[in-house]
């Protein structure tokens, strides 16, 4: 990887990580405050109002923005065509959801959701109206500018939702997202100026649609399993149980969303630049996979250990049923790690059909098993369905990776083992602290103790076993590790020399 590109990737990873972590923490604050004030019933009611909207938005994703990012030399006409397709899609989805609101509410046996669904139908138009120039910022890895869009959305959304939850109840969760989307629309034109024009230029659309058709196919498949799952829980167990399941998903999937969000956003345009250098792509994939495991596994194990104390001290007694669901779902994070790292690789190297295959396997199993397991074991059964489906899709991912990058695993065994050992030690430290103090103070100390233990052991193993985790990270992304050499003693100057001593 060239030094200028490595510098830009490092900067992009830093800003994407800060942005996503900040957004998730802001929304986590909203979840904790609102869920404690509303309870599972109202939380489930809001989940019902989102199901159809999210489902239609996902199954009509034509992949226009990723196609712009992946396409070298995209012109203004391509951007205008992509923006027009997005706007038409949003209008269709919004109108369909508005008209079908009573049917959707009846399907979930929750007539109170009708008006919520109708008002939320405005949100797709606000999101689609945002500047299409963001696609160019993504391709150029300028995530510092993009971060302002998403953070402003999160801040406004959360502030309004919390401020209005007492006077408006569940309606606060409708007002917040709408105003947040409007804010993001305005900010998007400030950071990515682009004067959009409605354009039905088929010559500009067709190359984008040819790439995006596989993203569309994946988007068509993936939400079906999730929607069936939510429908099964709501109809068989009630909206309160759906609220418990929804909150458990938000907490348990937090590490995976952060890790895959950072990797997916930055690795996709990076791999698009490495399409003609599979050797470098293989080394980059190995480093990204190891880095994701180092972040995701300790976080998942920590959530597993902290779940009971988190519910007792933060959410309140009404949410006790979420503990076993959270503990099953955290393993979905770990099992799905390979897929989170593999999908941006497949898309960036121009093989989106294979990424679609992973989604097809997972969604098929979700559809086949959701109704039975959720009906038999409740929300825990729904979580088990996720675990089975995700595990099966990862087996397919291993097969695809072996044929695409045969040497992707070579030399990574010791580093992966060290990461697992450090994560287990951190979880054990948190468990020990909670045995002594199970209150809010113990919760905070346990989280800090787990983080310190994990980082310390990983640092020691890195030095003693000469794993070169820090050095490899410095070689690939020097901007991330500006201060690392001051702490570890690794010479930062080595970061400029690619592995093998040659110029990549």
Query: Do residues 231 and 28 touch, judged by C-beta distance below 8 A?
Result: no
Tell me 130's DSSP state.
S
> What pLDDT was estimated at residue 453?
93
For the chain, how many residues are written? 504
Q: Using the 8-state DSSP alphabet, how is residue 317 labeled?
A: G
Query: What is the C-alpha to C-alpha distance for residues 321 and 255, in angstroms, rounded to an integer?
Result: 21
Q: Is the pTM of this model over 0.85?
A: no
CB 240 within 8 A of CB 108: no
Cite the DSSP H helix spans in 405-481.
413-436, 440-464, 469-476
pLDDT beneath 70, residues of the chain: 1-14, 17, 52-53, 55-64, 70-74, 141, 201, 203, 205-224, 259, 261-266, 269, 408, 410-411, 467-504
The 8 Å CB, 24+ separation contacts for 478-486 are 478/3, 478/6, 478/7, 478/10, 479/6, 479/7, 479/9, 479/10, 479/11, 479/13, 479/14, 480/10, 480/13, 480/14, 481/10
* pLDDT given at position 206: 67
Residues with Cβ within 8 Å of residue 131, at least 6 apart in sequence: 188, 189, 191, 192, 193, 194, 196
Query: What is d(CA 285, CA 407) in angstroms, rounded to the nearest whole number?
Result: 10
With beta carbons less than 8 A apart as the criterion, state whether 240 and 112 touch.
no
pLDDT at 258: 72
The confidence score (pLDDT) of residue 91 equals 86
| Residue that the structure tokens 């952060």 belong to | 258
Q: What is the DSSP string of 472-492?
A: HHHHH-GGGGTTHHHHH---G
Nearest to 382 by CA among 373, 390, 391, 395: 373
pLDDT of residue 392: 92
Cα–Cα distance for residue pair 13/470, rounded to 1 Å: 15
* The two structure tokens encoding residue 291: 């880095």
What is the 3-class SS of 281-293, one letter each residue? HHHHHHHHHHHHH
């Amino acid at each position: 990887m060239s030094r200028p590109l490595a510098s830009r990737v490092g900067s992009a990873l830093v800003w994407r990580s800060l942005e996503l972590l900040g957004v998730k923490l802001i929304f986590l604050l909203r979840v904790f405050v609102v869920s404690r004030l509303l309870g599972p019933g109202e939380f489930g009611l809001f989940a019902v109002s989102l199901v159809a909207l999210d489902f239609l938005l996902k199954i009509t994703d034509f992949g226009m923005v990723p196609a712009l990012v992946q396409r070298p030399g995209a012109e203004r006409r391509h951007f205008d065509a992509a923006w027009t397709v997005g706007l038409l899609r949003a209008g269709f989805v919004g109108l369909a959801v508005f008209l079908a609101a009573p049917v959707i509410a009846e399907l979930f046996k929750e007539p109170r959701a009708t008006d919520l669904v109708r008002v939320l139908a405005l949100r797709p138009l606000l999101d689609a109206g945002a500047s299409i120039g963001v696609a160019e910022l993504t391709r150029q890895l300028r995530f510092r500018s993009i971060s302002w869009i998403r953070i402003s959305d999160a801040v406004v959304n959360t502030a309004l939702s919390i401020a209005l939850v007492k006077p408006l109840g569940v309606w606060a969760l409708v007002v917040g997202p709408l105003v947040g989307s409007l804010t993001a629309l305005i900010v998007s034109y400030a950071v990515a100026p682009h004067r959009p024009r409605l354009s039905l230029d088929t010559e500009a659309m067709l190359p984008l649609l040819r790439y995006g058709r596989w993203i569309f196919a994946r988007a068509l498949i993936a939400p079906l399993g999730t929607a069936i799952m939510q429908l099964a829980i709501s109809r068989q167990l009630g909206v309160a149980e759906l609220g418990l399941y929804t909150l458990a998903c938000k907490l348990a999937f937090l590490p995976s969303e952060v890790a895959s969000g950072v990797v997916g956003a930055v690795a996709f345009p990076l791999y698009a630049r490495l399409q003609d250098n599979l050797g470098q792509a293989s080394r980059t994939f190995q480093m990204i996979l190891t880095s994701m495991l180092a972040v995701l596994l300790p976080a998942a194990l920590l959530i597993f250990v902290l779940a009971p104390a988190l519910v007792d001290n933060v959410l309140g007694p009404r949410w006790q049923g979420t503990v076993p669901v959270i503990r099953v779902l955290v393993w979905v994070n770990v099992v799905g790690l390979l897929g989170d790292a593999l999908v941006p690789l497949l898309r960036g190297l121009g093989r989106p059909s294979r990424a679609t295959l992973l989604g097809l396997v997972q969604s098929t199993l979700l559809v086949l098993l959701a109704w039975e397991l959720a009906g038999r074991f409740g929300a825990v059964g729904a979580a088990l369905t996720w675990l089975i489906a995700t595990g099966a899709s990862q087996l397919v991912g291993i097969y695809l990776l072996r044929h695409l990058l045969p040497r992707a695993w070579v030399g990574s065994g010791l580093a992966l083992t060290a990461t697992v050992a450090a994560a287990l030690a951190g979880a054990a430290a948190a468990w020990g602290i909670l045995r002594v103090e199970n209150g809010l103070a113990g919760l905070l100390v346990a989280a800090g103790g787990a983080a310190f233990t994990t980082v310390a052991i990983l640092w020691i193993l890195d030095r003693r076993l000469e794993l070169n985790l820090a050095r490899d990270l410095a070689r690939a992304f020097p901007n991330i590790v500006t201060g690392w050499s001051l702490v570890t003693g690794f010479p930062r100057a080595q970061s400029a020399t690619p592995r093998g001593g040659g110029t990549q």
